[in-house]
Structure 1
Amino acid sequence: MISPSGNLRIYLATRPVDFRKGMDGLAAIVQAECDLDPFSGAIFVFRAKRTDRLKIVVWDGTGLVLVCKRIEGTSFSWPRARDGVISLTRSQFEALFEGLDWTRIRARVQPGPVQA
């Protein structure tokens, strides 16, 4: 798995896409339908009609990278199909990629010092 460092922006396209598309076709979807820049270094996650497959497109600074995954024996947890994109945290993205229910991942609230 690609593990870029730094402050990641991760976007999940909620509608299924034609999985015959390669990295250029998916980058065009990012620009035209999501109104985002596919060359920004953000991670863009797409799904097929079958929820057991996903594709990831990311610009690594030298070129577009395409990652494909088919999960065996289960399916990826996906939001309802509607237009647009959803932002994910890194933890949610990692859970999604592993086939876990990423919607249950929440940021932990760090308690601050108690003021007297």
Structure 2
Amino acid sequence: MADFRLGIDDFSASCRLHLGVNPQSGALYVFINRNQTMVRALRFDGTGFWLMTKHLSKGKFCQWPSPNVN
């Protein structure tokens, strides 16, 4: 889960610091909010980052994987 008040720079920093990946790799990184009503996807296309948002007007994303807790 991610804090959806954050912007592109913060999401790319989260990829580096928390996931240990390079956000400029071209992979798609998808985050969900706590209520599971919104997802954000971050992708680097070679010239800059895209931050896409999907917000459900009804219901929740019910098939989302649960976080790994160590």
Identify unmatched segments of 5+ residues in structure 1.
1-15, 84-116
Between stretches 66-75 and 28-37, larger displacement belongs to 66-75
Provide the residue aligned with 1:38 in structure 2.
23
Q: How many equivalent pairs are there?
A: 68
Provide the residue aligned with 1:75 in structure 2.
60
Deviation at 1:58, TM superposition (A): 0.1
Q: Distance in 1 between matches of 2:37 and 2:53?
A: 11
Deviation at 1:53, TM superposition (A): 0.2
Sequence identity (%): 31
Identify unmatched segments of 5+ residues in structure 2.
none
Provide the residue aligned with 2:9 in structure 1.
24
Deviation at 1:46, TM superposition (A): 0.4
- Structure 1 outlier segments of 4+, above 3 Å: none
Indicate the RMSD between aligned Cα atoms, in angstroms. 1.1
Q: Distance in 2 between matches of 1:21 and 1:48?
A: 11
Larger Rg: 1
TM-score between the two structures when normalised by the length of structure 2:
0.89
TM-score between the two structures when normalised by the length of structure 1:
0.55
Q: Distance in 1 between matches of 2:8 and 2:30?
A: 11
Q: How big is each residue's C-alpha offset from its partner over 1:48-103, in whole Å with a ceiling of 9 and x where there is no partner?
A: 111010100000111001001101222112111225xxxxxxxxxxxxxxxxxxxx
SS of the residue 2:23 aligns to: coil
